[in-house]
Structure 1
Amino acid sequence: MLTISQLAAYAGVTVRAVRHYHQIGLLPEPERDRSGYRRYGAHAVVSLVKIATLADAGVPLSEIGDLVEADEETFAAAVRRIDRRLSDEIARLERSRTSIAELAAGDALLLPREVVAYLDRLRELGVSGPVLAGERDGWILMAARWPDRVRDWMPGKLASLDDPRIVRLYRVLSLLFDKSELDEPLMNEAADLMAELAEQAYEADYNTAQEAQEDAVPFDLLELLALETDPRATRMVELMRERGWEGWTRLEKVEPRATPR
């Protein structure tokens, strides 16, 4: 006959586990002997080994009691059912691992791979900090509304990075928004570049007017995103207005006017 400590050691579990199995009715609790100890026989050892084995295999404790006492056919059927459930759980966990890996990799969980490639290219060009984060968040807004269209836009966006003015604009904005204070020379350089590029796009009739007419909400949100992110975006809007352009991400040609200071 074994004490509870000996029983636990024999089955490879803790005394606490044995007591828990007693408490939930999985393992019968023997009477105490004259010395006040509970003594366990061979059947208790066999039962505990079965319980521990099934628990280690992932069988819920609520189902183990029936399995311990089941005949061979019932036991086999139950094991097959449990195996199917565990297979489903493994598949779910694998999907979760994939999602976590994508999340750890950066932007791939939230954005199409074409957009991720564009953001990676911006990183290679030295774009960083709030500008890169704002670019990513902006594409999240656009992809949520137009998941297929953003893929079609990406070849043109990547090709645009061959233009040194666009690369310079991104780098100037990165420098500008990484600073804690307002840098007027950088602000004006960025505004000059944006105005020049906007004029070129306007003359080429290359804009997003069609999408804006169909659904202006994503573009309005992009404007808000920029203005909510940093107060310097408001100053940039003022500088662009002085150069004859209204807005931030969806620029419209207007009469240039000086902004009161």
Structure 2
Amino acid sequence: MRIGELAALLGVSTRTVRYYHHKGVLPEPPRLTNGYREYGMRDAVALARVRRLAELGLTLDEARDVIAEDRSRELPEILAEIDADLAAQEREIHRRRARLAEVLARAEDGTLGPDDTASPDLLAFLRVVDMPASKSAAWDRDLLVLVDSVSAAPDRQRAFTMLDTLAADPSTTEQGQEFYRRMDELADAEPGDPRVAPLAATLADYSVEHVLHDLKPGPGWDPEQLEPFLEGLAPAQAEVVRQATWLIAAQLTG
């Protein structure tokens, strides 16, 4: 198959395939006499593996090592491993749908509280950091609860490890209170307010140093995906989060 057929088979763009070639993650087959590259089943399996490893949070360097090891393995063995992973994903989807059905039922009968979708681990963290009673803190809290309630188990476990580390640091609450105070000062400001950029830079630097330092966004990661969640903030506050997100992306991918 050609590169376009390979990309379509895995639901990605040809640009993504070429990006993996460029990074040395996905082996690139040699050109045939007609000038085209011909991809086979092993290439499709390797591409599927790269995508899944990226979903699990591995860096491209780590994924490259896994794909390199796969070259010495028999194809049926790799396919069996992928099948087992898909079965685990299916079980997780069933679990999440059951949880969603429970949440929807409680929402319909009026018994769903603001934190009822959060896990015990997240609630314990929220109690430790003692978020202030402010609009920006409430938005942050709601976003944490939302992400926690829809994340897959491995992602939640990584998040809890990070939250435990933050909760153990006495300065976490102090820094959080200061951030929310500065955010609340922007409640009536415009996006071009001179206080926006410094606060965004502070938030980005803290996030990369203490929270996201091990994260390596993949080529499909787009900071604009956060936009729908910014509607609950004032314009200047949303601009702080927007600029901080782009600064974080630049630091992590630079």
Same fold (TM over 0.5): no
What range is the shorter-chain TM-score in? Answer: 0.3 to 0.5
Q: Which is higher, the Rg of structure 1 or of structure 2?
A: 1
Structure 1 length normalisation: TM-score?
Answer: 0.40
Per the normalisation by structure 2, the TM-score is: 0.41
